[in-house]
Chain A
Amino acid sequence: MSIFVIGYYTLLLAASCLAAYFNKRTWFLLVFSLTLVSFILGIVGGASMLRGVAIAAGMLALSAMVAYAFREFLIAIASNDMAKELRTAPLTAAFGMFVIFTYAIAGIFAPWIAPFGEAEVISTAFAAPDGDMLLGADQLGRDMFSRIIYGARNTVALALAGTVMAFLLGALAGLLAATTGGWFDQVLGRTSDVIMSIPSLIFALLMLSIFGGALANSTTSFWLMFGFAMVTGLLVVVAKAENNVLSWLVGLAILVGVSAAFSLGMLTIFNPSEVILILVVGVIYSPRVFRLTRAVAGNVVVMDYIEAAKLRGEGKWYLIRREILPNSTAPLIAEFGLEFCFVFLLVAGLSFLGLGIQPPTADWGSMVRENATLISFGDITPLIPAAAIALLTVAVNFVVDWMLHRSSGLKD
């Protein structure tokens, strides 16, 4: 019997007795079942197993405390309305928000946080961790920790850009289809049916096999991005200009300029092969967004106040922006979170297959693959970027879960 074992059980038993004394039923059940589980596992696996259980329980308790504190912090700094909403957030959602916040900080301030550059070779291949390198070196002798920090910037930024593209196209098309109806609605609906009936990973692989390689140069990716931006913007022009020839012309002229500027901007942020990846994601996921937006907006369009606005003589753009959008924000935001998870996993998967973000850019998916050999020596370093992917996706899902529950008023 080591001191650890005695201390551990004393602590647990004291906590459960306290909980029972103060009539905290849930807490008592929680702590006492933990005691029982540790008891059984301790007999089976000995002190080392018990240590594992204690560490796991401690981690869980720690994340619960962080989540609780972060929620209280948010409530304290938020305005009254926001604070009321935040109070309904379960601990899981608060934890999710905390993780997203951490990733955002890591991504934005990557160059200041990371001790070395993302492509800087500073050591020998697979060097062990030391004072300089927190997690050791990767297969080329680059600092693993710095690359993980930079990965938060590269991988997440790309997935976010892809989601935004998919969302702009899908949501605009959905809103317009709901307000216009008729053949326009039918054509868009059937097109999205066809695209959605190809599995997303397979479709992405097909498109990358064509647009990858030599085609991923700045000219091609510029024109592809330009085309995508034009299609998206065209939906706005259609909604705004209606049947006025002059506003069509003005709208188209503005559109060409904006699309060109936007595509050039994208090309300065991302390199050509990443732009192609963003477009692939946009094409694959916009039909899903379209479906949901169409369904949500379809329920709003039949309302009386829309009828009243139409009789008042309001145009489509006004209907979309002032009447439909404010009444469908909640499900759309939740959908954005969900789509981000899908996109993020797809991009990570593609990078893992060596077809996504290209080296030497630090990216979590490809880092797992490059260092996978270490796993057969029992080293967990390659799992850290994979865990980073999983953690962010889980976090976003937690937050989305809460928002969906709140917006749907689901009290089942």
Chain B
Amino acid sequence: MGDILGLVGKRLGIGLFILLVISVIIFFMVELLPGDIAQAVLGQGATEENLAALRKEMGLDKPAIIRYLEWLGGAVTLDFGNSIVTGERVTTLIGQRFMNTLFLAAYAAVIAVPLAIVLGVLVALLRYTVFDRVANVATLTSISSPEFFLGYILILYFSVNWGMFPAIASLSQDMTLPELLHRTFLPALTLVLVVTAHMMRMTRAAIINLLASPYIEMARLKGTPPWKVIVKHALPNAWAPIINVVALNLAYLITGVVLVEVVFVYPGIGQALVDSVSKRDFPVVQACCLIFAATFILLNLAADVGAILTNPRLRHPK
């Protein structure tokens, strides 16, 4: 077990290092602005005194390295400073929204993951039949459509024409869980459509790859029933690619959520990011970007670790 822990620790170290590099990129990109943030906030017409006061307040009179370390120290303790538009603390601004986004992503994932894996395995078993061809065209269409296209089609049918679900997913504190699930069904369904298509294709590819290996052929030739070939011979080796597929697509879910939140006016962190980009509210942009990047890296890390745990060959790298 020791070597597994070592390998996982090593991956974790690499992940943390990449996150550190990304935090440097996120922080110092803002430094590329001509003049500084104070100038960008107050505009060209600002007086020298106002600029100096704002610089002092934001700590811009210190060197960039010190400010970066302070920002990083704050970020580790979940303190991202204050918004420069509203003056509120960034943490209170995006804390609840982050939980909302996580809820939406989890909702979509709970539906999409089992659905996609079952359908993916099914399509792999029925490969080169009409069913497979239709599934291929359908998933390709779903992947190729922008998220807002799917979202608006769902709104048009499910909420405008048939009146089954609300088009706007606004939330309030005193909602019960069924009410919440009903209210957020359409955004979750949009995400499910996109992510399921991705996952199905990747699962299909992984399984077909596996079914081509000689030991599966051997099992078939010795007369093992087809379901047994899948369950006893193929599945144990299929876990690694499937875990990989799931983790990668959950990472995809994190970015797909931005457009979906805007379509459905869902109070999530993606909406906050888009708003603050157009208002040029840099502390909020930086915080959101760091959170998204961290989640993305974490899920990719989970994919790596899952692959190591389920595939003994990866535990002994040559």
**A residues near B, CB below 8 A?**
26, 29-30, 92, 193-194, 197-203, 205-210, 212-215, 341, 345, 348-349, 352-355, 365, 368-369, 372, 375-378, 380, 382-383, 386-387, 389-390, 393-394, 396-398, 401, 412
9 closest residue pairs by CB, A with B: A393-B144, A386-B149, A390-B145, A199-B255, A209-B277, A394-B144, A202-B292, A201-B255, A209-B285
Cross-chain contact A202 with B255 (CB below 8 angstroms) = yes
User: Smallest distance from the beta carbon of A45 to chain B beta carbons, Å?
Assistant: 13
Q: Does B60 contact A (CB under 8 A)?
A: no
Cross-chain contact A386 with B160 (CB below 8 angstroms) = no
B258-276 vs A, CB cutoff 8 Å, 1 = contact: the mask equals: 1100100000000001101
Whether A205 touches B285, Cβ cut-off 8 Å, given contacts A198-B296, A215-B33, is: yes
In angstroms, Cα B145 to Cα A387, docked, is 8
B-chain residues with CB within 8 Å of residue A197 when the two chains form the complex: 18, 22, 293, 296-297, 300
B-chain residues with CB within 8 Å of residue A401 when the two chains form the complex: 140
Q: Which residue of B140, B149, B251, B289 contacts A383 across the interface (Cβ within 8 Å)?
A: B149
B-chain residues with CB within 8 Å of residue A390 when the two chains form the complex: 141, 144-146, 149
B17-40 vs A, CB cutoff 8 Å, 1 = contact: the mask equals: 010011001100110111000001
Cross-chain contact A202 with B289 (CB below 8 angstroms) = yes
Cross-chain contact B296 with A213 (CB below 8 angstroms) = no
A-chain residues with CB within 8 Å of residue B18 when the two chains form the complex: 193-194, 197
Q: Which residue of B148, B209, B277 contacts A386 across the interface (Cβ within 8 Å)?
A: B148
B-chain residues with CB within 8 Å of residue A365 when the two chains form the complex: 146
Most chain A CB neighbours (cut-off 10 Å) among B130, B145, B208: B145
B133-155 vs A, CB cutoff 8 Å, 1 = contact: the mask equals: 00001001101111111001101
Q: Does B161 contact A (CB under 8 A)?
A: yes
Q: Does B254 contact A (CB under 8 A)?
A: yes
Interface residues of B in 231-285 (CB under 8 A from A): 251, 254-255, 258-259, 262, 273-274, 276-278, 280, 282, 285
Cross-chain contact B33 with A206 (CB below 8 angstroms) = no
Give the size of the chain B interface in residues (CB under 8 angstroms): 54
In angstroms, Cα B150 to Cα A352, docked, is 13
User: Smallest distance from the beta carbon of A280 to chain B beta carbons, Å?
Assistant: 12
Q: List 10 A-B contacts (CB under 8 A).
A: A198-B293, A205-B258, A352-B262, A376-B160, A378-B156, A383-B149, A389-B145, A390-B149, A393-B146, A394-B144
User: Smallest distance from the beta carbon of A411 to chain B beta carbons, Å?
Assistant: 10
Cross-chain contact B148 with A352 (CB below 8 angstroms) = yes
Q: Which residue of A212, A341, A353 contacts B259 across the interface (Cβ within 8 Å)?
A: A353
Cross-chain contact B155 with A375 (CB below 8 angstroms) = yes
Cross-chain contact A209 with B282 (CB below 8 angstroms) = yes
Q: Does B167 contact A (CB under 8 A)?
A: yes
Q: Does B212 contact A (CB under 8 A)?
A: yes
User: Smallest distance from the beta carbon of A220 to chain B beta carbons, Å?
Assistant: 8
By beta carbon, the residue of chain B nearest A368 is B148
Cross-chain contact B140 with A349 (CB below 8 angstroms) = no
Whether A372 touches B152, Cβ cut-off 8 Å, given contacts A202-B293, A206-B285, A353-B259, is: yes
Cross-chain contact B146 with A349 (CB below 8 angstroms) = yes
User: Smallest distance from the beta carbon of A142 to chain B beta carbons, Å?
Assistant: 20
Q: Which residue of B34, B140, B160, B251 contacts A378 across the interface (Cβ within 8 Å)?
A: B160
In angstroms, Cα B140 to Cα A398, docked, is 8
B293-313 vs A, CB cutoff 8 Å, 1 = contact: the mask equals: 100110010000000000000
B-chain residues with CB within 8 Å of residue A212 when the two chains form the complex: 277, 280
A-chain residues with CB within 8 Å of residue B148 when the two chains form the complex: 349, 352, 368-369, 386
Cross-chain contact B153 with A210 (CB below 8 angstroms) = no
Most chain A CB neighbours (cut-off 10 Å) among B130, B251, B254, B277: B277
Cross-chain contact B32 with A210 (CB below 8 angstroms) = yes
Given contacts A199-B251, A355-B274, 5 further A-B contacts (CB under 8 A): A205-B273, A348-B146, A352-B146, A353-B258, A383-B153
Cross-chain contact A382 with B152 (CB below 8 angstroms) = yes
A-chain residues with CB within 8 Å of residue B33 when the two chains form the complex: 210, 215
A-chain residues with CB within 8 Å of residue B152 when the two chains form the complex: 368, 372, 375, 382-383, 386
Cross-chain contact A207 with B292 (CB below 8 angstroms) = no
Cross-chain contact B22 with A349 (CB below 8 angstroms) = no
B-chain residues with CB within 8 Å of residue A213 when the two chains form the complex: 40, 280
Cross-chain contact A375 with B160 (CB below 8 angstroms) = yes
Most chain B CB neighbours (cut-off 10 Å) among A201, A206, A375, A396: A206
User: Smallest distance from the beta carbon of A251 to chain B beta carbons, Å?
Assistant: 29
A-chain residues with CB within 8 Å of residue B288 when the two chains form the complex: 202
Most chain B CB neighbours (cut-off 10 Å) among A207, A213, A390: A390
Cross-chain contact B278 with A354 (CB below 8 angstroms) = yes
A-chain residues with CB within 8 Å of residue B155 when the two chains form the complex: 375-376
In angstroms, Cα B179 to Cα A194, docked, is 41
In angstroms, Cα B146 to Cα A352, docked, is 10
User: Smallest distance from the beta carbon of B291 to chain A beta carbons, Å?
Assistant: 9
User: Smallest distance from the beta carbon of B64 to chain A beta carbons, Å?
Assistant: 15
Cross-chain contact A205 with B212 (CB below 8 angstroms) = no
By beta carbon, the residue of chain B nearest A395 is B144
Cross-chain contact A202 with B140 (CB below 8 angstroms) = no
Most chain B CB neighbours (cut-off 10 Å) among A30, A198, A368, A398: A198
B-chain residues with CB within 8 Å of residue A397 when the two chains form the complex: 140, 143-144
Cross-chain contact B22 with A210 (CB below 8 angstroms) = no
Most chain B CB neighbours (cut-off 10 Å) among A199, A348, A349, A394: A199
A-chain residues with CB within 8 Å of residue B25 when the two chains form the complex: 194, 198
A-chain residues with CB within 8 Å of residue B167 when the two chains form the complex: 376
B100-142 vs A, CB cutoff 8 Å, 1 = contact: the mask equals: 0000000000000000000000000001001000000100110
By beta carbon, the residue of chain A nearest B281 is A209
B-chain residues with CB within 8 Å of residue A398 when the two chains form the complex: 140
In angstroms, Cα B136 to Cα A394, docked, is 11
B-chain residues with CB within 8 Å of residue A201 when the two chains form the complex: 255, 258-259
Cross-chain contact B259 with A349 (CB below 8 angstroms) = yes
Cross-chain contact B212 with A202 (CB below 8 angstroms) = no
Q: Which residue of B127, B130, B140, B297 contacts A30 across the interface (Cβ within 8 Å)?
A: B130
In angstroms, Cα B160 to Cα A378, docked, is 6
Q: Which residue of B212, B259, B276 contacts A352 across the interface (Cβ within 8 Å)?
A: B259
User: Smallest distance from the beta carbon of B197 to chain A beta carbons, Å?
Assistant: 11
Q: Which residue of A26, A199, A203, A345 contacts B254 across the interface (Cβ within 8 Å)?
A: A199
In angstroms, Cα B29 to Cα A205, docked, is 12
Cross-chain contact B156 with A355 (CB below 8 angstroms) = no
Cross-chain contact B277 with A198 (CB below 8 angstroms) = no
Cross-chain contact A353 with B274 (CB below 8 angstroms) = yes
B-chain residues with CB within 8 Å of residue A203 when the two chains form the complex: 289
B-chain residues with CB within 8 Å of residue A377 when the two chains form the complex: 160
Cross-chain contact B277 with A208 (CB below 8 angstroms) = yes
